[in-house]
Amino acid sequence: MRVVKTAAPPLRDVPLQVTNPERIPARRYYDEEFYKLECERVWPHVWQMACRLEEIPQVGDWIEYKILDKSVLVVRTKTGIKAFHNACRHRGMRLASGHGNCKTQGFICSFHGWRFNMDGENTFLFGRHLFSEKNLEKAELALAPCRVALWGGSAFINFDDNAPPLRECLGTLADRLEAHNVDKLKVEWWRSAVLPVNWKLAMEAFMEGYHVMRTHPQLQALSTPQLMLYGPDQGSGSPTPARTNITSREFVDLSIRYMERLSDGMAGMVHGSEVAIAKTLRDMEVPDDLDGAAMAFYGRLGAEITAQGRARGVPVPDVNQVAVSHPVKAVEFLFPHYFLLPMFSAMSSYRIRPLSPETCLFEIWSLALFPENEERERPVAPVPMPHDDPSFPEIPRQDYSNLPAQQLGLHAGGFEYMRLSKNVEGMISNYQRLLDGYIAGVEPSKLAKATQIVCSGFDSPIFDIGF
């Protein structure tokens, strides 16, 4: 029997397409039609981080995840995590908002009183005799399921039942972060803000370290690695002799001060407990050469973080071992909207969701490892703060101060496209071209392979993503 291959559907036109990988059209960040295409062709087909599992720790716990005009209920049932489209099967009433527990009463429609249990089954229908039997089939009355997958201590949802599995999209990124016990991290704090910027612009501030020199001068002043990578003159590539000729003792002191400032400004990237350990090593013996001093200091620090954490019952991986076997970058990106920022044992985390062409919801978590038998309060989504609230941690506050002005600048006459560095701003180009792939209708298997390439960590060069 001859198998006839079905031809792939023709690709669709992409307005404002990225045709030069080093140039991103400015209108992609505010054009209404382009935004509509993202809403129609991207968000319904991608894996989205919907909640942290610790938000729903008990059977019956649920949270609502909202993206654009869609709402999903993510529920912990007796048999595992399930997700349902948030609409009563009677006349489409949105059933619930926020978070709660449905173990006892289930979900009750406030319009006509229909009721659904935690597994989505309809358990009460007022005036059943009023309906035709064909409208009362059990399967049709159950809440419509939404695809859900678990990874890294979080639940991810996808509205597309035919999309490749989450793990296939993450590729080796999942392996790298799993080795660092990403699934065991817990929320230390959680904050959010509505930013007056396009969702993509908000993400791109964290896709390269090139901005640190000007945006975060307090880190640049303490960071020899930044000077070595970008140079003293806005990326000239020439390290400054004054900073590369520091003594090994000065290097140790500078490293500790850098970690302390990073912890104060970002928390999860370097946890306070890790800074405390680093301070105890300030006077340790180190070789005279900088390379030897770096290896000795950071090797000892990793060993102490591991040993002291395990002594307290904290599930710390072998920090030094995984740094070699599964190295990670300071910012790891999970397309389309989720970031993890690892360094030693803790991590920071970001999630960005579009609200309109020029507004988005930006969330920040500080994540840390705690003793596994320690009882912790269930984290609850925060009320968004003003984006210029002075109580935000220093580092995101500095980023937030740039972004509104950048959004306005993109409207300037004569500014047609961004000009990217092919060496350190490649992640921006890579994910933007992946968006084009979704809008064009590239086949899902190619999109999954491209997603693996895009999830390559910040300061990546421009890559060939396969289309």
Burial 60-69 (b: 16+ CB within 10 A, else e): bbbbbbebee
- pLDDT (tens digit per residue) in 65-76: 999 999 999 999
CB 117 within 8 A of CB 101: no
pLDDT of residue 218: 80
User: What region does 171 belong to: left with phi over 0, alpha with psi -120 to 50, or beta?
Assistant: left
Q: What is the fold of 23-46+172-203+330-454?
A: Naphthalene 1,2-dioxygenase Alpha Subunit; Chain A, domain 1 (3.90.380)
Nearest CA-CA partner of 233 in 213, 215, 216: 213
Q: What is the mean pLDDT of residues 241-258?
A: 79
Q: What is the domain partition of the chain in residue ranges? A: 23-46+172-203+330-454, 49-151, 210-325
Residue 323 in this model has a pLDDT that exceeds 60: yes
pLDDT of residue 359: 98
pLDDT of residue 168: 97
How many Å apart are CA 96 and CA 87, to the nearest integer? Answer: 9
User: What region does 175 belong to: left with phi over 0, alpha with psi -120 to 50, or beta?
Assistant: alpha
Q: Please list the residues that pair with 338 across neighbouring strands.
A: 334, 351
CB atoms within 10 A of CB 450: 24
- Kindly indicate the confidence band of residue 215, based on its pLDDT and cuts at 50, 70 and 90: confident
pLDDT of residue 5: 58
The class (CATH top level) of 49-151 is: mainly beta
Name residues whose C-beta falls within 8 Å of residue 54's C-beta, 6 or more positions apart in sequence: 153, 186, 187, 376, 378, 379
Query: Among 92-96, 183-187, 229-233, 318-322, where is mean pLDDT lowest?
Result: 229-233
Nearest CA-CA partner of 146 in 86, 96, 83: 83
How many Å apart are CA 298 and CA 302, to the nearest integer? Answer: 6
CB 116 within 8 A of CB 106: yes
Q: What is the mean pLDDT of residues 48-54?
A: 98
Q: What is the mean pLDDT of residues 442-450?
A: 97
pLDDT of residue 213: 77
> Tokens standing for 41?
């062709």
Burial 244-267 (b: 16+ CB within 10 A, else e): eeeebeebbebbbbbbbbbbebbb
- pLDDT (tens digit per residue) in 412-437: 999 999 999 999 999 999 999 999 99
Query: 248-266 and 272-280 are packed helices; what angle lies between their axes, rounded to 10 degrees?
Result: 160
How many Å apart are CA 416 and CA 100, to the nearest integer? Answer: 47
Residue 137 in this model has a pLDDT that exceeds 50: yes
pLDDT of residue 351: 98
Residue 231 in this model has a pLDDT that exceeds 50: no
More confident residue, 273 or 396: 273
Q: What is the mean pLDDT of residues 316-339?
A: 96
- Position 72: which residue type? V
CB 85 within 8 A of CB 157: no
Match 């360094």 to its residue by tokens. Answer: 343
More confident residue, 101 or 215: 101
- Position 84: which residue type? F
How many Å apart are CA 299 and CA 302, to the nearest integer? Answer: 5
How many Å apart are CA 100 and CA 396, to the nearest integer? Answer: 30
Q: Please list the residues that pair with 342 across neighbouring strands.
A: 347
Nearest CA-CA partner of 43 in 68, 21, 25: 68
Instruction: Annotate the chain with three-state secondary structure.
Output: CCCCCCCCCCCCCCCCCCCCCCEEEHHHHCCHHHHHHHHHHCHHHCCEEEEEHHHCCCCCEEEEEEECCEEEEEEEECCEEEEEECCCCCCCCCCCCCEEECCCCCEECCCCCCEECCCCCEEECCCHHHCCHHHCCHHHHCCCECEEEEECCEEEEECCCCCCCHHHHHCHHHHHHHHCCHHHCEEEEEEEEEECCCHHHHHHCCCCCCCHHHHCHHHHCCCHHHHHHHCCCCCCCCCCHHHHCCCHHHHHHHHHHHHHHHHHHHCCCCCHHHHHHHHHCCCCCCCCCHHHHHHHHHHHHHHHHHHHHHHCCCCCCCHHHHHHHCCCCCCEEECCCEEEEECCCCEEEEEEEEEECCEEEEEEEEEECCCCCCCCCCCCCCCCEECCCCCCCHHHHHHHHHHHHHHHHCCCCCCCEEECCCCCCHHHHHHHHHHHHHHHCCCHHHHHHHHHHHCCCCCCCCCCCCC
